[in-house]
């Protein structure tokens, strides 16, 4: 899942070298914390949150196929 989020995020931003994803595994779910440059945060969120919602949908679908749960959070 981490590689998937990194791939998508790097394709969307202007500073792909500043994309960081931290994976926190819990008992029931995995949280993927996405960190990008301040200038790229708007590109990841998108208008009315459409892009981040799409990223979350893709990750949720991929994790469901593996019988797991994963969520994506944007950290500053």
Q: Residues 11-48: pLDDT tens digits? A: 999 999 999 999 999 888 999 999 999 999 999 999 99
The whole-angstrom separation of Cα 13 and Cα 36 is 8
> Could you tell me the CATH number of the domain that includes residue 45?
3.30.300.20
- Is residue 55's pLDDT more than 90? yes
Evaluate if residue 69 carries a pLDDT over 90.
yes
pTM of the predicted structure, to 2 decimals: 0.89
Say how far apart CA 34 and CA 23 lie, in whole Å: 9
Which tokens is 18 given? 């500043």
Q: Residue 69 in contact with residue 8, Cβ under 8 Å?
A: no
- CA dihedral (12, 62, 6, 27) in degrees, to 10, reads 140
Question: Percent of the chain having pLDDT more than 70?
Answer: 100
Count of structural domains within the chain:
1
For helices 50-65 and 2-12, what crossing angle results, to 10°? 160
Q: Range of 20's domain?
A: 2-74
């Amino acid at each position: 899942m981490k590689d998937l989020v990194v791939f998508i995020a790097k394709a969307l931003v202007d500073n792909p070298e500043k994309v960081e994803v931290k994976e926190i595994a819990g008992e029931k779910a995995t949280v993927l914390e996405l960190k990008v440059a301040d200038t790229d945060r708007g590109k990841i969120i998108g208008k009315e949150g459409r892009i981040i919602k799409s990223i979350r949908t893709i990750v949720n679908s991929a994790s469901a196929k593996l019988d797991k749960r994963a969520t994506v959070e944007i950290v500053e």
